């Protein structure tokens, strides 16, 4: 009761010399309080380190009607995209990539998407089912623009779609799913197939510069897409 009464008392302020000096009584953390606070912060940071990679990586695809392969994926993981096609029941495979308008295929970046498409065919995907799409490179929201290009292609080809799977690199999957959902205006169920980044260990991503760069950049990118992105 005495402690409660003390907490209820207003802050005492004592001033002297016309208010040029002020003494105030206030509450502050004790050593135990600092220990508890630092412990909570430490546990939160620990949980963030362990949880951010699994949060960004969403691997729930395999049941869609169209397989969309982002054209910038690692060439070392194209086999996983081909296996996803073989395990699924897809109507089409769309390789989509943002490219520069000027220059030849090397300068524009088109060669990467052509390489991925050719590799998919080499790995068993029927050539007549593989389509390569390009959208102009923009300063931001490239994934969204690729989603719009996919939407336009499916409409032009008159391919009805209720669901699609986006194949992309692991930590990019949550952002890709969100932006493709926005591009399709929520009318198509979007799932993702996550490709592991072989340049670092995903369970200990903080131990390598490649892992830190990848996870932090994708986390920031997702937060932007979730809270600041505008389609117009």
Mean pLDDT confidence for 85-104: 88
Average pLDDT over every residue of 75-94:
94
| Lowest-pLDDT range of 7-11, 56-60, 104-108, 214-218 | 7-11
pLDDT of residue 73 exceeding 50: yes
User: Which of 93, 73, 80, 81 shows the shortest CA–CA distance to 164?
Assistant: 93
**What is the SS3 string spanning 106-162?**
HHHCHHHHHHHHHHHHHCCCCHHHEEEEEEECCCCCHHHHHHHHHHHHHHHCCCCCC
Q: How many residues does the chain have?
A: 232
Is beta strand 163-169 parallel, antiparallel or unpaired with respect to 13-16? unpaired
Q: What is the pLDDT of residue 137?
A: 75
Say which range, 9-23, 119-133, 213-227, has the weakest mean pLDDT.
9-23
- Are 108 and 71 contacting, i.e. CB atoms less than 8 angstroms apart? no
| CATH 3.40.50 residue window(s) in the chain | 66-227
Q: Which of 50-54, 97-101, 149-153 has the highest mean pLDDT?
A: 149-153
Residue 15: per-residue pLDDT: 59
Q: Name 36's Cβ contacts closer than 8 Å, sequence gap at least 6.
A: none
> Do 125 and 82 touch, CB atoms closer than 8 A?
yes
81-90 residue pLDDT tens: 999 999 999 9
95 alpha-carbon distance from chain centroid = 19
Apex CA 120: angle with CA 149 and CA 64, to 5°? 55
pLDDT digits (tens, 9 = 90+) for 138-151: 666 889 999 999 99
Mean pLDDT of 170-195: 97
Q: What is the pLDDT of residues 103-129, one digit of tens each?
A: 666 667 788 999 999 999 999 999 999
DSSP letter, residue 221: H
Q: Which of 77, 116, 87 is nearest to 194 (CA)?
A: 77
**Which CATH architecture fits 66-227?**
3-Layer(aba) Sandwich (3.40)
Cα 4 off chain centre by: 48
Long-range CB pairs of 181-186, under 8 A, 24+ apart, other chains included: 182/144, 182/147, 182/229, 182/231, 183/144, 183/146, 183/147, 183/148, 183/150, 183/151, 184/147, 184/151
Model confidence at 33, pLDDT cuts 50, 70, 90, reads: confident
């Amino acid at each position: 009761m005495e402690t409660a009464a003390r907490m209820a008392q207003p802050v005492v302020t004592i001033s002297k010399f016309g208010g040029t000096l002020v003494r105030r009584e206030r509450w502050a953390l004790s050593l135990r309080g600092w220990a508890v606070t630092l412990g909570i912060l430490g546990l939160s940071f620990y949980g963030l380190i362990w949880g951010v990679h699994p949060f960004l990586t969403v691997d729930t695809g395999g049941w869609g009607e169209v397989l969309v392969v982002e054209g910038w994926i690692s060439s070392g993981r194209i086999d996983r995209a081909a296996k996803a096609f073989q395990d699924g029941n897809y109507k089409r495979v769309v390789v989509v990539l943002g490219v520069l308008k000027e220059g030849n295929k090397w300068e524009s970046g088109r060669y990467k998407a052509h390489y991925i498409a050719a590799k998919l065919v080499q790995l068993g995907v029927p050539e007549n089912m593989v389509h390569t799409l390009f959208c102009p490179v923009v300063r931001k929201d490239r994934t969204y623009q690729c989603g719009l290009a996919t939407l336009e292609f499916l409409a032009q080809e008159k391919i009805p779609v209720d669901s699609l799977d986006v194949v992309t690199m692991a930590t990019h999957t949550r952002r890709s799913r969100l932006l493709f959902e926005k591009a399709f205006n929520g009318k198509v169920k979007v799932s993702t197939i996550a490709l592991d980044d072989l340049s670092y260990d995903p369970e200990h991503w903080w131990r390598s510069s490649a892992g830190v760069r990848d996870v932090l950049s994708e986390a920031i990118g997702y937060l932007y897409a979730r809270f600041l992105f505008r389609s117009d």
